[in-house]
Amino acid sequence: MSARKLDTLAVHAGDRKRTGAFVPVTTPIYSSSSFYYPEMETLDRVFGNEIPGQNYTRYNNPTRNALEEQVAALEGGEFALAAASGMAALNLAMSAALLDRRKSVVAGTVLYGASIRLLMEILEPAGVQAHFCDPNDTTAFEAALAEHKPGVVLVESITNPMLRVTPLDSVSEIAHRHGALVVVDSTFATPLLVRPLALGADLVMHSLTKYLGGHGDVLGGVVVTGDQFRPALQAISRVTGGVLGPFDCYLAMRGIKTFPLRMARQCASACRVATWLATHPRIERVHFPGDPRHPDAAVARRLFPQGLYGAMVAFDVKDAGKEQIFRLVDSLQMIVPATSLGDVHTMILYPPMSSHRDIAPKHRQRMGIGDGFLRLSVGIEAPEDIIGDLDQALREA
């Protein structure tokens, strides 16, 4: 099935495993915490990984395995492991990547706030040095790797929330030349826009909560990679136990079946919303990879399919501080002010209050996140209605 188109893989991958005399058309929810066999010898061989099978849901579960097969197919990977959240998946990926390597990380200067906290508050106290560098500045990036000699490079395919587009092919080439593995958070791009493994990355992770699940009803994450990382990922996951439960796996898998359709619609609507925002007198600047003036426009055109630039739009409101931003967001009538993205409904977020709240204000300013900065996740509503709601809120506030 790996040679089939993404839309087909999303619908069919992972499903229709034979169960006795019948085959369920859609993978059911296997809510059992444990599994047994008529003969103890069979269970012994399953525990010993001599034959495939189920024994305990912290180790394996048929619903979770189906989801993992589905996402691995979308990313062109050999192995996937679903975790309890996107951050659990990132922690799992970083732990596996650093297991037998130099305990040093070079990360992109703009990352999701919780990812920065993972590096600074969890990994650094555990002895992992963290350094930050702009991966879009090839000269500075190579110099940083030569100086710090990291075991791992961590980047986002489209950065949160500044929407910079990382040149994953050149980043992977430089990192490997310096002996580092590459971990990519590709939540914003999804496999519809880019497959990091095909561009040289070693491990890619997603928050299933976002575009892949897509309906705001599931919390989960997933790591996709090659078979060489299977033993490490499985060992860490089975010991730490942060696996995704079968009900959430079912919801995520159901959402993924329509994700290519949703994402294509959201990308097209985001282009219209970004174009409109750029003409509004109250907007100082729009951040959107499809804008020809975007600093990474050439990278986006090279890596992404034509016309697909993601469904996130960020913008700065002129002369606005916290009070004005709160008034603007409170004036919205349809757009949902909530802490997530990638859902079917359009959502707006104030990063200084939420995703980057725990980042020092000076660090936020260096990242480009000012007091008038907003992040918009464009949904599947009619784009005219999204624009209309933004327009009335900008006038009201």
Query: Do 214 and 163 share a domain, yes or no?
Result: yes
CB 260 within 8 A of CB 10: yes
**pLDDT confidence tier of residue 6, bands split at 50, 70 and 90:** very high
Structure tokens at 80: 């996937």
- CA atoms 65, 70, 76, 81: torsion sign: negative
Give a yes or no: residue 366 inside a domain.
yes
Whole-model pTM? 0.95
pLDDT confidence of residue 397: 77
Last residue of a domain, one of 256, 274, 304: 256
Give a yes or no: residue 106 inside a domain.
yes
Provide the CA 341 distance to its chain's centre, in angstroms. 10
CB 82 within 8 A of CB 249: yes
Cβ neighbours of residue 73 under 8 Å, at least 6 residues apart? 1, 2, 9, 13, 14
Beta strands in the chain (DSSP E): 79-83, 104-108, 129-133, 152-156, 181-185, 203-207, 221-225, 283-287, 312-317, 336-337, 347-349, 373-377
Mind listing the pLDDT tens digit for each residue in 12-35?
Answer: 999 988 776 778 899 999 999 999
Q: What is the mean pLDDT of the chain?
A: 94
Last residue of a domain, one of 224, 256, 288: 256
Query: Do 243 and 295 share a domain, yes or no?
Result: no
Query: Do 187 and 282 share a domain, yes or no?
Result: no
pLDDT confidence of residue 355: 62
Torsions phi, psi of 244, nearest 5?
A: -90, 130
Give a yes or no: residue 192 inside a domain.
yes
Bridge partners (DSSP) listed for residue 204: 184, 224
Give a yes or no: residue 45 inside a domain.
no
Range of the domain at 223: 6-30+61-256
Last residue of a domain, one of 233, 256, 279: 256
* Whole-number Å distance between alpha carbons of 245 and 248: 6
Closest by Cα among 326, 338, 325 to 379? 338
Our count of domains for the chain comes to 2
Query: Do 216 and 285 share a domain, yes or no?
Result: no
Query: Do 332 and 371 share a domain, yes or no?
Result: yes
Give a yes or no: residue 37 inside a domain.
no
Mind listing the pLDDT tens digit for each residue in 103-155?
Answer: 999 999 999 989 999 999 999 999 999 999 999 999 999 999 999 999 999 99
User: Which amino acid is residue 323, in one-letter code?
Assistant: E
Give a yes or no: residue 214 inside a domain.
yes
Query: Do 323 and 386 share a domain, yes or no?
Result: yes
Mind listing the pLDDT tens digit for each residue in 268-306?
Answer: 999 999 999 999 999 999 999 999 999 999 999 999 999
Query: Do 107 and 136 share a domain, yes or no?
Result: yes
State the CATH number of the domain containing residue 276: 3.90.1150.10
pLDDT at 97 over 70: yes
Query: Do 268 and 237 share a domain, yes or no?
Result: no
**pLDDT confidence tier of residue 237, bands split at 50, 70 and 90:** very high
Query: Do 237 and 281 share a domain, yes or no?
Result: no
Catalytic residue IDs: 58, 112, 185, 210
Give a yes or no: residue 362 inside a domain.
yes
Query: Do 332 and 349 share a domain, yes or no?
Result: yes
Query: Do 111 and 209 share a domain, yes or no?
Result: yes
State the CATH number of the domain containing residue 94: 3.40.640.10
Question: Which residue has tokens 């580092």?
Answer: 180
Mind listing the pLDDT tens digit for each residue in 332-365?
Answer: 999 999 989 999 999 999 987 766 666 667 667 7
Query: Do 233 and 362 share a domain, yes or no?
Result: no
Give a yes or no: residue 144 inside a domain.
yes
